[in-house]
């Protein structure tokens, strides 16, 4: 046993290293795409930056341009700028905002907490909704099952902005359970998080439902029933554990989806957060801020997926055996 | 005779319910599909000849009748300037549908180029393109779209390109998978054994088979693109409010959410309905094509 298990461990480690390296390549690529996006501003960059700052297009004097060129190092060759940018990224430096005269990291740092809270709350809500809904409706005959599946599909397809508005109208304005605008406390978090959670729950339910129904047919379920376990007990203690695996592997994607969905949700509910910052930055063409936030979300997505992948490799014994 | 009676009832009970058949698309008469086609047809008519369907001039200001709730004269109510919302929605159909179709076309063409190169180009190039698609895929679609808008400023054209660019990486991956599957199939092996040239195999065997599902994917993508594009307009980063493009209507209605909720609910319902219709049509095409293959 010992030699095989040690060699299988080596295979696992090799697999993890390979995955980490490939994630690194993807991260580097994402950063590169983001850098060249900043170069793509039409016309002279220093002029563009000044115009973005003042909000009006006009010709600039050489003295003005020289100052901007100096500040952003625009006169240097692109390759040098690129290497500098990469070095900055590794040290956690995303450059300076065109409009706010501050480092992008400071701007993001102030607002990141609110968005992460929203995003994680939404994922927790989505899991609760998904687990309850699937456990109640999966494998309960054609009618209930079909209703369950239909709700999954519809929920997954709801556009965030519309769902948010409906929730706002019904629970905020109609029933007055939650503050309509800018609630910063726990109360103000519930509707925005639900707006992100409902479509997410719909997506996860689709794959969980398939697994759940498959697991219900397994021998271990029959043996549990023969031991006299109740239906609810079988579902919660045995079947659920198998059924949620695909949803767990979607975690990285879910994090990326809720972070980008925050753009719309924060706008509807007038919540602070990086989504709101992003919308303002896009409309004022403050590219370093836009690029910083977009890169950050891509990094989170890649890292979350890597972690899921590694955990998966460690947990699944079949991968070790192969 | 009475003893025989229960049998047909039991048979009727065993048939899956209407809901089940709708959900699985297994109804003998696909009413959902008919409804979707009728709705899309109606919108196509609105796009081509809006004056046939509209009840009012979409731009006529009528301040005494501003912010009226839906009624017989104003089916969807009126906005802050007394313009008839129903007529505005009808007149907005052309722009909304064109943006959706345009964005879907941009996305699919881009995906087609990237996906087939990643699957068919010679080794080093294919690997590079494959990686590039994977890198683009790490940016959520909305963020990729926002990045493009930040660079070139909001406009209808940018909106089309942005949504197309945002959705392309996902489709590119799908197309790559389809082509690789076709490449490994028995008929390609047979063609290779017969000594057909690589170009002929690709053009005559791989592409037609790999790309057949694209018709369905395009329909699905139009629905998705309309939703994405209206999200951008809703954020004030797409088509600007004087236009009655549906996302712009949503954006304009936001300020009146307290006094006149219908200004935002109605365009939202229309967008969701279009997306649902496009998805229904796409799903049916998909299952139809799959059945045809067997």
Judged against a pLDDT cut of 50, whether residue A322 lies above it is answered with no
C-alpha triplet A129, A135, A136: angle, nearest 5°: 90
Nearest-CA neighbor of A85 among A35, A39, A45, A41?
A35
Q: How many CA atoms lie within 13 A of B54 on its CB side?
A: 21
Which residues lie closer than 8 Å to B183 by C-beta, 6 or more apart? B119, B120, B206
Assigned domain for B208 exists: yes
- Residue carrying structure tokens 């219908």: B262
* pLDDT tens column, B226-281: 888 888 888 888 887 677 788 888 888 888 877 777 888 888 889 888 888 888 88
Q: Is A133 left (phi over 0), alpha (psi -120 to 50) or beta?
A: alpha
> Pseudo-torsion of CA A157, A160, A166, A171, nearest 10°?
120
Q: What residues 237-266 of chain B have any CB closer than 8 A to a CB of chain A?
A: 237, 250, 257-258, 261, 264-265
Q: Which residues pair with B84 in a beta bridge?
A: B78
pLDDT digits (tens, 9 = 90+) for A264-290: 999 888 888 999 999 999 988 888 899
Q: Rounded to a whole number, what is the distance in Å from the CA of B149 to chain A's nearest CA?
A: 7
Residue whose token pair is 């008839």: B84
The answer to whether position B2 is within a domain reads no
Count the domains in chain B: 1
- CA-CA distance, A192 to A196, in Å (whole number)? 7
B51: domain CATH number? 1.10.3720.10
Partner-chain contact A259 B140, CB within 8 Å: yes
Quick check: helix, strand or coil at residue B190? helix
With tokens 């997954």, the residue in question is A156
- Tell me, yes or no, whether B4 lies in a domain: no
Residue A182 has pLDDT above 60, yes or no: no
Rounded to an integer, the average pLDDT of A61-88 is 81
Long-range Cβ contacts of A40-44 (<8 Å, 24+ apart)? A40/B151, A41/A285, A41/A287, A41/B151, A42/B152
CB A207 within 8 A of CB A133: no
- From the list B150, B154, B271, which residue is nearest A290 (CB)? B150
DSSP A73: T
Half-sphere exposure of B13 (CA within 13 A, CB side): 6
- Which tokens belong to A190? 């519930």
Contact criterion met (CB below 8 Å) for A129 and A196: no
Residue B252 lies in a domain: yes
Please check whether residue B142 lies inside any domain of the structure.
yes
Q: Is the pLDDT of residue A250 over 60?
A: yes
Q: Quick check: helix, strand or coil at residue A96?
A: strand
- Spans of chain B, pLDDT less than 50: 1-16, 294
Q: Determine the 3-state secondary structure of A102 from DSSP.
A: coil
* pLDDT attached to residue B102: 93
* Structural Rg of chain B based on CA atoms: 24
Residue B13 resides in a domain: no
**pLDDT at residue number A200:** 92
CB contact under 8 A, B151 and A168: no
Task: Look at residue B25 and tell me if it is in a domain.
Answer: no
Q: How far is A146 from chain B (nearest CA, A)?
A: 5
CA neighbor of A295 nearest in space, from A21, A30, A86: A30
Q: Kindly report whether the global pTM for this prediction surpasses the value 0.90.
A: no
Q: If we measure between CA atoms, which residue out of A239, A253, A303, A273 comes closest to residue A126?
A: A253
Closest residue on chain B to A32 (Cα): B135
Interface check B140 vs A, CB under 8 A: yes
Q: Could you give the CA distance from residue B278 to residue B39 in angstroms, rounded to a whole number?
A: 10
- C-beta separation of A291 from A37 below 8 A: yes
Residue B283 counted as domain residue: yes
């Amino acid at each position: 046993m010992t030699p095989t298990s040690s060699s299988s461990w080596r295979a696992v480690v090799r697999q993890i290293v390979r995955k980490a390296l490939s994630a690194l390549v993807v991260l580097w690529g994402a950063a590169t795409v983001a850098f060249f996006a900043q170069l793509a501003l039409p016309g002279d960059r220093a002029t563009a930056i000044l115009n973005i700052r003042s909000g009006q297009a006009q010709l600039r004097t050489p003295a003005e341009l020289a100052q901007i060129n100096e500040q952003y190092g625009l006169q240097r060759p692109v390759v040098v700028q690129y290497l500098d940018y990469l070095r900055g990224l590794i040290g956690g430096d995303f450059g300076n905002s065109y409009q706010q005269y501050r480092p992008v990291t400071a701007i993001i740092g102030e607002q990141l907490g609110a968005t992460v809270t929203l995003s994680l709350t939404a994922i927790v809500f989505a899991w609760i909704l998904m687990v309850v809904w699937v456990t109640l409706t999966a494998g309960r005959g054609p009618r209930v099952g079909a209703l369950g599946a239909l709700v999954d599909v519809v929920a997954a397809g709801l556009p965030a902005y519309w769902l948010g508005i409906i929730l706002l109208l019904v629970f905020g304005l109609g029933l007055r359970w939650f503050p309509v605008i800018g609630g910063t406390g726990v109360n103000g978090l519930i509707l925005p998080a639900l707006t992100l959670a409902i479509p997410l729950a719909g997506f996860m339910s689709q794959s969980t439902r398939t697994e759940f129904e498959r697991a219900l047919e397994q021998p271990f379920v029959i043996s549990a029933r023969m031991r006299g376990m109740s239906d609810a007990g079988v579902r919660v203690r045995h079947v659920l554990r198998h059924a949620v695996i695909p949803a767990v592997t979607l975690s990285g994607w879910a994090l990326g989806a809720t972070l980008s969905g925050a753009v719309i949700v924060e706008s509807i509910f007038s919540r602070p957060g990086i989504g709101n910052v992003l919308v303002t930055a896009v409309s004022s063409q403050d590219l370093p801020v836009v690029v910083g936030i977009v890169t950050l979300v891509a990094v989170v997505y890649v890292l979350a997926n890597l972690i899921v992948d590694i955990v998966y490799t460690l947990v699944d014994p079949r991968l070790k055996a192969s | 005779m009475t003893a025989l009676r229960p049998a047909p009832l039991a048979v009727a009970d065993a048939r899956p319910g209407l809901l089940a058949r709708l959900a699985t698309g297994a109804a003998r008469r696909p009413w959902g599909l008919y409804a979707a086609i009728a709705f899309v047809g109606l919108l196509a008519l609105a796009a081509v000849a809006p004056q046939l369907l509209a009840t009012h001039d979409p731009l006529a200001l009528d301040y005494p009748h501003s912010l009226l709730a839906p009624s017989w004269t104003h089916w969807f109510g009126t906005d802050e300037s007394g313009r008839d919302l129903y007529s505005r929605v009808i007149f907005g159909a052309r722009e909304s549908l064109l943006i959706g179709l345009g964005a879907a076309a941009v996305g699919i063409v881009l995906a087609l180029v990237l996906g087939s190169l990643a699957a068919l180009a010679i080794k080093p190039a294919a690997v590079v393109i494959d990686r590039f698609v994977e890198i683009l895929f790490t940016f959520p679609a909305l963020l990729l779209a926002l990045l493009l808008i930040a660079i070139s400023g909001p406009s209808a054209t940018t909106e089309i390109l942005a949504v197309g660019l945002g959705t392309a990486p996902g489709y590119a991956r799908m197309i790559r998978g389809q082509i690789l599957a076709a490449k490994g199939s028995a008929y390609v092996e047979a063609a290779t054994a017969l000594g057909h040239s690589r170009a002929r195999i690709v053009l005559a065997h791989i592409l037609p088979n790999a790309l057949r599902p694209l018709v369905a994917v395009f329909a699905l993508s139009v629905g998705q693109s309309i939703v994405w594009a209206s999200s951008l307009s809703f954020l004030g980063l797409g088509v600007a409010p004087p236009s009655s493009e549906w996302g712009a209507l949503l954006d304009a209605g936001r300020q009146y959410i307290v006094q006149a909720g219908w200004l935002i609910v109605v365009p939202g319902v229309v967008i969701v309905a279009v997306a649902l219709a496009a998805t229904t049509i796409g799903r049916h095409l998909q299952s139809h094509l799959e059945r045809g293959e067997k």
